[in-house]
Chains A and B, each alone.
Chain A
Amino acid sequence: MTEGQDVAARPASERGNGRDALGSGRLLADSDFGHAIDANPGMEHEAVPGSASAEPSPTYSYAPVPEQEFSSPGPHDEAEAPIARVDARRLESALLKLRHPIVTVPLLLEAPRVAEARAERVKLLSQIDDYLLPRLRQSGAPILVALVGSTGAGKSTLMNTIVGKEVSATGVLRPTTNSPVLASHPDDMRWFAENVFLPTMPRVRQQGLAMPGRDGLLVLAATEGMPRGVAILDTPDIDSVVEAHHDFAHQFLDASDLWLFVTTARRYADAAVWKTLKDARDRGAALAVALSRVPDESAAELQTHFDAMLDANGLGDVARFLVPETVVKDAMLPTEVVEPVKAWLTDTARQEDRRMAVLTQTMSGVLDTFRSRVPGLADLVNEQLTVRRELQMAVEDAFTAGLEQVVEATRSGSLLQGEVLARWQDFAGAGDLLRGMQVRRNRDNRAKKVNEPAASMTVPSRASALREAVQVGLESLVIAAAAKAAEDVVASWQRQQAGASLLRDLDAAARRVVAGEDFVATALADLGITDAAGPPADRRDSAALARPTGGLAAAAAAEISGWQEHVRELVQTDNVTKRSVARVVSFDADSLALVLTIGLLAPKAKDEDATEDASAAPQQLLASLFGAGLLRSMGTRVRRDLRQRVKGLFLAEARRYFDVIDSAGVPDEGAGTALLQAGYALQEAR
């Protein structure tokens, strides 16, 4: 800050040693430098301060020499012998190995930070594809300087002045630059061909004067005005209302070696400016800052203030330039105003140490950020797995609670209410039970088995009504529990971002299906695949998910009658009645099964006073018929069977939720680990 106001553009301290100006001392050890640049084996120079600056640069060629892998680590004199270098190929292959898990990273669910993760993935990929790999493969390419800055900062004007020709359109409309313009010496233009530089970006070669390009098109301007070995890229703004420009600009910024940040006297205190500068600082990229449109009369004051702000933000050591506000003529500033900038650029291109320093700093900086960003992405991937697990847990929890609800209701006696209780009262009170108990006494025991089918037909109507009431009661219980579980699952998903998004997708898909359904149904009917009059398939939207499936009622009915049949068989086949009782009386299996069922459903008598209760009767009856031990073991078996059946029903109900989760894609559980390992491998390879 010693130079006066008369200096139009003032490179800070880089005259002495470029590396200081670039602040690389903060970022790199010398060995890092060696690693990063190793792709160019033709280069023998080390970026050691003071050692290499004077040497002329040899011709650059891209031909890695394998022997270098075996070159022993040199002694401490790094200027003499090559230091321990890692083959660029090793780094390249490590990068490619890292690239794969990044591409395949499962970001399927809308977890809270998935947008961040997706953006980070795109950014990592663009840094690998657009910068690191091309740089490793051809380190001889010109240094790409990106002009970064706010809309209206004068980036295009600055570029035109440096080039000496209007290559980028300027104007008073904001944002001015819609398509980026890359200017380089014609000899260097081959480096920016489609197959090497930003392969996905469509580009056009500029013919004649600058004209506003189409959005999203890279304009290549070959001009003799550019020094060899350096190319300038005029990027779209980072802060205008056209938000599409921001991502676009960032892609270019990631692909460049050096940022020349341009801001103006009027907006250097903008929040957006400092956000970008901090990004650059965190990225570790080589950076220079130009403060343009500075009114002459206040240059000193502004300069001091701006310097103080840079220092305060940890950017005290970047190169800086001051461009005064002057008359713009033919889209250009007076040449002398930007002379320092141009000289600095030329120097950076020509002086090998400076060039190396820039490349090293940026590449190392980017690779350094991978140290924390790759694990960061891995964390986000693991978060995905956690979210997936949470969604599944919500389903499991809801249906487990539903199952417990059913089991509890069969234990607590709450099922022995309403219809079931009334039917029991009718059945027991009317004496049908005792009549059933005696009905077979008059028959011969040997004839019992033969008469069984006929006997079941003579079951009194009260018994079958009770049996039906039990069946209906249990069915209702199962359906109510399933309905509650379904509602709980959807409510709990709604509370989670990922779940809510799954449900939204489902609804959107369901609307599409409804639109296409008629067509499909007709087509299928025509082909004879389905019956046109067949029942419509279950609608699969969130409203349907919050209810039990249409088939549940039928399935529950089947399972419950299956269970009742099981109880009946148990009573019938296991010669269960106490021998002392069996000698005298026998029951028909239906009545006995009913008594057993009611006995199970009745709450356990807590105290003796409860014996008056109607529900105590079947238990006493059972106890006197079967004996306590047998009753207990039979009760356990019957309960277990009921639980198994209900569980089976609920598992079938829950399946569709798991299907919905899986419809977003089934992630690879090891993705996070793979990413971490590749990240470590990359850092190892440096």
Chain B
Amino acid sequence: MSATVTTTEIAGDDADRAELSVRLAALDRLTQIGAARTGPDGFTEELVREAGEVLARAGQRLKLSSNHTVVSLAGGTGSGKSSLFNQLAGAEFSTVGVTRPVTRDAHACVWGMAGAGPLLDWLGVPPRHRYPRASALSTAERSLMGLVLLDLPDHDSVLGEATDVVDNLVGLSDLMVWVLDPQKYADNAVHSRFLVPLAGHSEVIAVVLNQCDLLAPTEVEECATDLRRLLDSENLREVQILVTSAKTGEGVEELRKLLAQAVTARRAAAARISADVDKLIAAFEPFGVRMPSGGGNPDREGGGAVRLGHAADSALVSGTEIQLGAALAEAAGARAIGDSLRSARQLRAADYVGWPVSWMVERFTSPDRARKVKLGALWQQLSDITAGPSGAQQAEIDNALSWVADNQVPPLPPPWSRTVREALRSRVEEIPALIGAEIGASLPRGTGVDRWWRLVGILQGLLLGCVLVGCGWLVALLVLGVGKVDPGVPKLFADPWLLPWPAALIVVSLAGGWFTARTSKRSVEAAAERESAELLDEVHRRLTAVAHDLIVRPAETELAELSVFRQELLIAAGGEPQE
């Protein structure tokens, strides 16, 4: 801040700059968000690069002398830029010539050279083309203190490199004065290349219709009106038009006043950057619009502002992860694993709680043909196949993800619909292994043999023992008692009247064994059923967590980025963040 400016100006200036730096910071974050998501459907490389350039330019310009205002005189060949430059500078600094093109390099005239060096270096004006205008300050000149006036090369001449210089310096100037002349004011070269893209920069553009001495006064009027119409049609309604003649000096005083205003206000630099930011915000805006749920046109309010409020599209449809968990369980064959676990349980339990007698009967009545074709080993092997973690079908996972992408993602503006889809799939490779691990963890541990099975097994053994004892007794009674083989035998084994007892013992034991096996099997079945259901629940629970971690969370992180993007868009547009 120079000591010559009043306090109110400082305050205004500071407020401007503070607001601008907030907006620039927001633009920076927008650019970062965009740079991570470049693609042809949004955030083009070009846009991101342009944003980066504007940010870099703005950062440098704000760092450099805020006491100077850079004003460039730009225009076509022969429009009289250099003559006007010399008029304003009050000396023949820039060569004026009849043959074209004359000005090949930019020239700078500086009112108040102190501190302008780095700024001029940044602008790329070579020292030999810098002209200080510090001495002999009249009152009029003092009002221009801090002005850096640039005379640009012709933008439309056959010298291509000059056009690049113009492009560059037009980008760097705080205030642009376009010098047109009656012959060329409607040239496509200046309008389509420079003025139309600067449509948002009305505040920092002035248009000068030079060489008015060549026309009659009425023609000047006509010409200026037509130029006004042309600029209006290009959305440059705010732009001021000055009619000047470098030859006669007409209108030069007004131009000087305009420059003096810009210099004393010290707002041009900030205004220029602000206009650049506005332009970028407009380019970023379509990527933050809210889509109506029914498809169709993006939902906008007047002035292109993004409507905020409802957060319908910042999350996936609720319940997605539960449905996804179910889909993953399906892909992993959870139900089949449950069924197979149940079968295994029942088979295993049959070894303990089954009634050996009925097994032997079965074995006896239907002989194992497999053994005869030497498939016994295989039998064993197949019997050993038990329930275990089985991985998951990649294809079914893919289909589940497609389903989420198509049905559970809220309607989004172009680049986000793609990036959210990508985020959904970002960890798809990890899913099958994790599903396998989770199912493995859900499976019951241990041998799977319950204690009561053993007790029942012992009982069955006892019952079987009883049957055998009964049989032995029966045989003994028949042999010893009925046959009266040896009288020395105890009566217990020799009394034929005792025959019903062993018979009863056999019958009761057989019936008991059969009944025990039957009821035990029922219980085992019920337990296996319960276990299988628990397994299924557990698998669902775990896989829902997997779906949340690997699928839903990345997508919602991406959606959260979109919310951040929208917030930053509001801040960068100069509004207040909501929520």
For A271, what are the chain B residues with a Cβ–Cβ distance below 8 Å?
A: 156-158, 160, 163, 189
Cross-chain contact B157 with A483 (CB below 8 angstroms): no
Among A173, A246, A266, A423, contact of B340 (Cβ-Cβ < 8 Å): A423
The stretch from B29-37, B97-105, B496-504 touching chain A is B97-105
Beyond A173-B226, A418-B331, A624-B378, whether A429 also contacts B189 by CB under 8 A is: no
How many Å lie between the Cα of A481 and that of B394 in the bound state? 11
Cross-chain contact A473 with B188 (CB below 8 angstroms): no
Least Cβ–Cβ distance between B380 and chain A, in angstroms:
10
Asked if A632 is at the interface (CB within 8 A of a chain B CB), the reply is no
Asked if A174 is at the interface (CB within 8 A of a chain B CB), the reply is yes
Interface residues of B in 376-415 (CB under 8 A from A): 378-379, 381-388, 390-396, 398-399, 402, 406
Beyond A175-B186, A483-B398, A483-B399, whether A266 also contacts B100 by CB under 8 A is: yes
Q: Considering only CB atoms, which chain A residue lies closest to B183 in the complex?
A: A152
What are 5 A-B contacts with C-beta separation under 8 Å? Answer: A174-B184, A418-B392, A425-B340, A426-B387, A484-B398
The stretch from B366-374, B454-462, B464-472, B477-485 touching chain A is B366-374
For B336, what are the chain A residues with a Cβ–Cβ distance below 8 Å?
A: 418-419, 422-423, 425-426, 465, 469
Cross-chain contact A266 with B189 (CB below 8 angstroms): no
Cross-chain contact B382 with A434 (CB below 8 angstroms): yes
* Binary B-proximity of A44-81 (CB < 8 A = 1, otherwise 0): 00000000000000000000000000000000000000
Among A429, A431, A584, contact of B387 (Cβ-Cβ < 8 Å): A429
Cross-chain contact B390 with A428 (CB below 8 angstroms): no
Asked if B332 is at the interface (CB within 8 A of a chain A CB), the reply is yes
The 4 closest A-B pairs by CB, nearest first: A419-B333, A269-B100, A426-B340, A422-B336
* Binary B-proximity of A171-190 (CB < 8 A = 1, otherwise 0): 11111000000000000000
How many Å lie between the Cα of A447 and that of B372 in the bound state? 23
How many Å lie between the Cα of A458 and that of B398 in the bound state? 35
For A239, what are the chain B residues with a Cβ–Cβ distance below 8 Å?
A: 187-189
Least Cβ–Cβ distance between A614 and chain B, in angstroms:
5
For A151, what are the chain B residues with a Cβ–Cβ distance below 8 Å?
A: 183-184, 186-187
* Binary B-proximity of A465-480 (CB < 8 A = 1, otherwise 0): 1000100010011111
Least Cβ–Cβ distance between B461 and chain A, in angstroms:
24
Cross-chain contact A418 with B332 (CB below 8 angstroms): yes
Cross-chain contact A481 with B395 (CB below 8 angstroms): yes
Beyond A437-B370, A476-B396, whether A152 also contacts B347 by CB under 8 A is: no
Q: Considering only CB atoms, which chain A residue lies closest to B387 in the complex?
A: A425
Asked if B493 is at the interface (CB within 8 A of a chain A CB), the reply is no
Beyond A274-B158, A414-B394, A481-B395, whether A240 also contacts B402 by CB under 8 A is: no
Least Cβ–Cβ distance between B400 and chain A, in angstroms:
9
Asked if B343 is at the interface (CB within 8 A of a chain A CB), the reply is yes
How many Å lie between the Cα of A465 and that of B342 in the bound state? 15
Asked if A433 is at the interface (CB within 8 A of a chain B CB), the reply is yes
For B187, what are the chain A residues with a Cβ–Cβ distance below 8 Å?
A: 150-151, 174, 239-241, 270, 272
Interface residues of A (CB under 8 A from B): 150-153, 171-175, 239-243, 246, 264-272, 274, 293, 295, 298, 301-302, 305, 309, 409, 414-415, 417-426, 428-431, 433-434, 437-438, 441-442, 462, 465, 469, 473, 476-481, 483-484, 494-495, 500, 547, 580-581, 584-585, 614, 617, 620-621, 624
Least Cβ–Cβ distance between B350 and chain A, in angstroms:
11
How many Å lie between the Cα of A243 and that of B395 in the bound state? 55
Cross-chain contact A479 with B395 (CB below 8 angstroms): yes
Cross-chain contact A267 with B373 (CB below 8 angstroms): no
Cross-chain contact B333 with A270 (CB below 8 angstroms): no
Asked if B192 is at the interface (CB within 8 A of a chain A CB), the reply is yes
Cross-chain contact B186 with A240 (CB below 8 angstroms): yes
SS class of chain A's interface: helix, strand, loop or mixed? helix
Residue of A438, A480, A483, A617 with most partner-chain B CB within 10 A:
A480
The stretch from B215-223, B257-265, B273-281 touching chain A is B215-223
Least Cβ–Cβ distance between A428 and chain B, in angstroms:
5
Q: What would 10 more interface pairs be, CB under 8 Å, given A302-B99, A434-B379?
A: A151-B187, A171-B222, A271-B163, A414-B394, A417-B390, A418-B390, A423-B339, A429-B347, A437-B370, A465-B339
Interface residues of B in 329-349 (CB under 8 A from A): 330-337, 339-340, 343-344, 347
For A437, what are the chain B residues with a Cβ–Cβ distance below 8 Å?
A: 369-370
Cross-chain contact B100 with A173 (CB below 8 angstroms): no
For B386, what are the chain A residues with a Cβ–Cβ distance below 8 Å?
A: 425, 429
Asked if B134 is at the interface (CB within 8 A of a chain A CB), the reply is no
Least Cβ–Cβ distance between A48 and chain B, in angstroms:
38
Cross-chain contact A429 with B399 (CB below 8 angstroms): no
Cross-chain contact B183 with A476 (CB below 8 angstroms): no
Q: Considering only CB atoms, which chain A residue lies closest to B432 in the complex?
A: A417
How many Å lie between the Cα of A473 and that of B336 in the bound state? 13
How many Å lie between the Cα of A312 and that of B48 in the bound state? 41
Asked if B513 is at the interface (CB within 8 A of a chain A CB), the reply is no
How many Å lie between the Cα of A269 and that of B386 in the bound state? 89
Asked if B354 is at the interface (CB within 8 A of a chain A CB), the reply is no
Beyond A271-B157, A621-B378, whether A421 also contacts B333 by CB under 8 A is: yes
* Binary A-proximity of B150-183 (CB < 8 A = 1, otherwise 0): 0000101110100100000000000000000111
Interface residues of B in 300-332 (CB under 8 A from A): 330-332
For B372, what are the chain A residues with a Cβ–Cβ distance below 8 Å?
A: 584
Cross-chain contact B78 with A267 (CB below 8 angstroms): yes
Give the A-B pair count, Cβ closer than 8 A.
250
How many Å lie between the Cα of A441 and that of B370 in the bound state? 11
Least Cβ–Cβ distance between B376 and chain A, in angstroms:
11
For B330, what are the chain A residues with a Cβ–Cβ distance below 8 Å?
A: 419
Q: Considering only CB atoms, which chain A residue lies closest to B394 in the complex?
A: A414
Asked if B476 is at the interface (CB within 8 A of a chain A CB), the reply is no
How many Å lie between the Cα of A483 and that of B396 in the bound state? 12
Cross-chain contact B387 with A272 (CB below 8 angstroms): no
For A266, what are the chain B residues with a Cβ–Cβ distance below 8 Å?
A: 77-79, 100, 181, 183-184
Beyond A426-B340, A442-B366, whether A267 also contacts B184 by CB under 8 A is: yes
How many Å lie between the Cα of A541 and that of B491 in the bound state? 100
For B189, what are the chain A residues with a Cβ–Cβ distance below 8 Å?
A: 239, 270-272
For A246, what are the chain B residues with a Cβ–Cβ distance below 8 Å?
A: 188
Beyond A241-B188, A266-B184, A420-B333, whether A429 also contacts B340 by CB under 8 A is: yes
Cross-chain contact A272 with B184 (CB below 8 angstroms): no
Asked if B62 is at the interface (CB within 8 A of a chain A CB), the reply is no
Asked if B129 is at the interface (CB within 8 A of a chain A CB), the reply is no
Least Cβ–Cβ distance between B352 and chain A, in angstroms:
17
Least Cβ–Cβ distance between B78 and chain A, in angstroms:
3
Asked if B554 is at the interface (CB within 8 A of a chain A CB), the reply is no
Least Cβ–Cβ distance between B195 and chain A, in angstroms:
9
Least Cβ–Cβ distance between B422 and chain A, in angstroms:
11
Q: Considering only CB atoms, which chain A residue lies closest to B80 in the complex?
A: A266
Cross-chain contact A431 with B378 (CB below 8 angstroms): no
Least Cβ–Cβ distance between B394 and chain A, in angstroms:
6
How many Å lie between the Cα of A417 and that of B381 in the bound state? 19
Among A268, A272, A480, contact of B395 (Cβ-Cβ < 8 Å): A480
Cross-chain contact A483 with B340 (CB below 8 angstroms): no
Cross-chain contact B390 with A421 (CB below 8 angstroms): yes
Least Cβ–Cβ distance between A141 and chain B, in angstroms:
33
Q: Considering only CB atoms, which chain A residue lies closest to B386 in the complex?
A: A429
Q: Considering only CB atoms, which chain B residue lies closest to A270 in the complex?
A: B156
For B41, what are the chain A residues with a Cβ–Cβ distance below 8 Å?
A: 494
For A420, what are the chain B residues with a Cβ–Cβ distance below 8 Å?
A: 333, 393
Asked if B230 is at the interface (CB within 8 A of a chain A CB), the reply is yes
Beyond A174-B226, A241-B186, whether A426 also contacts B369 by CB under 8 A is: no
Asked if B40 is at the interface (CB within 8 A of a chain A CB), the reply is yes
Asked if B200 is at the interface (CB within 8 A of a chain A CB), the reply is no
Least Cβ–Cβ distance between A187 and chain B, in angstroms:
37
Cross-chain contact A172 with B219 (CB below 8 angstroms): yes
Cross-chain contact A425 with B393 (CB below 8 angstroms): no
Asked if B288 is at the interface (CB within 8 A of a chain A CB), the reply is no
For A621, what are the chain B residues with a Cβ–Cβ distance below 8 Å?
A: 375, 378, 382
Q: Considering only CB atoms, which chain A residue lies closest to B79 in the complex?
A: A266
For B339, what are the chain A residues with a Cβ–Cβ distance below 8 Å?
A: 422-423, 426, 462, 465
* Binary A-proximity of B204-234 (CB < 8 A = 1, otherwise 0): 0000000000010001001100100010000
Cross-chain contact A267 with B98 (CB below 8 angstroms): no
